[in-house]
Amino acid sequence: MAGIDARQMQDQPDALERAVEQAIAACDGDLRATIRALVVANSFLTEQTTVLSQELDYAWRWISPGFTRSQLKRRMTTGEPE
């Protein structure tokens, strides 16, 4: 399944079929085990996304807008940082 992203799967039905076949093969042909593995993986990724979003929200609350703004400022004549 590695190397196939969602956009490729939508654009190419064959890519989706290959990903399905790879998932089933990884579980030795057991469809229930395949579904179980995909549900567990999806739950893990959903939880990880939630945690990372919370950490990012926390970081943005504590970063001063003035600090980030000053990092992007350049002098008009030389282009060098102030």
- Examine residue 34 and state whether it is found in any structural domain, yes or no: yes
- Examine residue 80 and state whether it is found in any structural domain, yes or no: no
pTM (2 d.p.)? 0.57
Range of the domain at 16: 6-72
Between 20 and 75, the more confident residue is 20
- Examine residue 22 and state whether it is found in any structural domain, yes or no: yes
pLDDT tens digits, one per residue of 22-39: 999 999 999 999 999 999
Residue of 35, 59, 39 lying closest to 47 (CA atoms): 39
- Examine residue 81 and state whether it is found in any structural domain, yes or no: no
- Examine residue 64 and state whether it is found in any structural domain, yes or no: yes
Report the domain count for the chain: 1
Name the band, by pLDDT with cuts 50, 70 and 90, for residue 1.
Answer: very low
CA 44 to CA 38: how far, in whole Å? 10
> 3-class secondary structure for the chain?
CCCCCHHHHHHCHHHHHHHHHHHHHHCCCCHHHHHHHHHHHHHHHHHHHHHHHHHHHHHHHHCCHHHHHHHHCECCCCCCEC
pLDDT tens digits, one per residue of 32-79: 999 999 999 999 999 999 999 999 888 877 776 665 565 555 555 655
